[in-house]
């Protein structure tokens, strides 16, 4: 495959690539093809001038752009035909009535050139095998003999004009090599744009820095989400604990007036709590002592009252008057 000459697409120079891939070498340049196009334009002008240079048709012809080339690099079928004529080659329309009447199997031909919407490419036989030498491909595409007719029919359905090359093509190295050996193609070539897009995609995916950055961003986002979730859980727990403390406090207060001396103390140091307990015990002790004191004071008075009552009762019984 390395011996096959294959020009890849540059600008709109597909006609140049088509011719050079057909002839298997750098036989034509844009300058040479432009020269052929200008020669054709001059021949057309001379034919129009035969009818008179003062006619409206002639003046209109002069105002029109060239039909054989343009600034983009396009060249007409007339330019290609004249370029091939330099090498004694002719082109015949593949689907013409004259050619179809010959009933020639495509595999017995030497080459075809195909055109669709100003794009030209070559299909050529090298040795005993056929190759698609489209300049839009990354390399030559092997076409089997059984697939050639189907390939050409598919091109016709897509709107391509196909021309058969008649004459003896110049000798080339690839044809000589492939006459004594056959090649196999493991992977079919891609379109140039498709290959570049795939390569960029692979490079983008295999870039370690890019992959690491994306991984770090994903990890950071995941950690942030976890932190936010935990903080929300902590806030909920703190709110629940605060509600529980308030409920316990209210139950301990039991609805009593916090300004009352008997109300429990809810804040303060342990020393203040101990002092309150000590004051409470001292007051209780004082109450008991006062009660005991009152009891002692009342005991002698009660005994004296009982004694006086006994003496008074004895006098009354001894001086009872006679009836």
Catalytic site positions: 14, 119, 134
d(CA 79, CA 39): 9
Contact 143, 151 (CB under 8 A): yes
Nearest to 141 by CA among 85, 79, 99, 189: 189
Q: Residue written as tokens 């007051």?
A: 283
In this structure, what are the phi and psi dihedrals at residue 239, rounded to the nearest 5 degrees?
-65, -40
SS3 140: coil
Q: Rounded to 5, what percent of the chain is helix, strand, coil? A: 60, 10, 30
d(CA 15, CA 117): 12
* Token pair of 119 as six digits: 């794009």
């Amino acid at each position: 495959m390395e011996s096959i000459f294959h020009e890849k697409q540059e600008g709109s120079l597909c006609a140049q690539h088509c011719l050079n891939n057909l002839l298997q070498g750098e036989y034509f340049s844009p300058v040479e093809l432009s020269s052929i196009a200008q020669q054709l334009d001059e021949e057309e002008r001379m034919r129009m001038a035969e009818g008179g240079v003062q006619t409206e048709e002639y003046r209109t012809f002069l105002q029109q752009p060239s039909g054989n080339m343009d600034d983009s690099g396009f060249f007409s079928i007339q330019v290609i035909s004249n370029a091939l004529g330099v090498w004694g080659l002719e082109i015949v329309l593949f689907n013409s009535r004259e050619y179809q009447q010959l009933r020639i199997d495509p595999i017995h031909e030497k080459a075809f050139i195909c055109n669709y919407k100003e794009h030209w490419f070559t299909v050529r036989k090298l040795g005993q095998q056929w190759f698609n030498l489209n300049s839009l491909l990354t390399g030559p595409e092997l076409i089997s003999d059984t697939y050639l007719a189907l390939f050409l029919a598919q091109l016709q359905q897509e709107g391509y004009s196909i021309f058969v090359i008649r004459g003896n093509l110049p000798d080339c190295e690839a044809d000589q090599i492939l006459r004594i050996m056959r090649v196999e193609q493991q992977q079919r070539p891609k379109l140039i744009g498709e290959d570049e897009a795939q390569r960029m995609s692979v490079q983008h995916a295999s870039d370690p820095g890019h992959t690491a950055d994306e991984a770090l961003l994903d990890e950071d986002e995941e950690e942030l989400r976890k932190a936010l979730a935990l903080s929300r859980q902590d806030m909920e727990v703190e709110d629940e604990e605060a509600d529980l403390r308030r409920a316990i406090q209210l139950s301990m207060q039991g609805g009593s007036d916090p300004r009352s001396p008997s109300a429990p103390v809810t804040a303060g140091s342990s020393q203040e709590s101990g002092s309150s307990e000590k004051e409470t015990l001292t007051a209780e002790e004082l109450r008991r002592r006062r009660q005991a004191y009152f009891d002692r004071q009342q005991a002698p008075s009660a005994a004296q009252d009982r004694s006086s009552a006994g003496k008074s009762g004895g006098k009354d019984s001894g001086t009872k008057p006679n009836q």
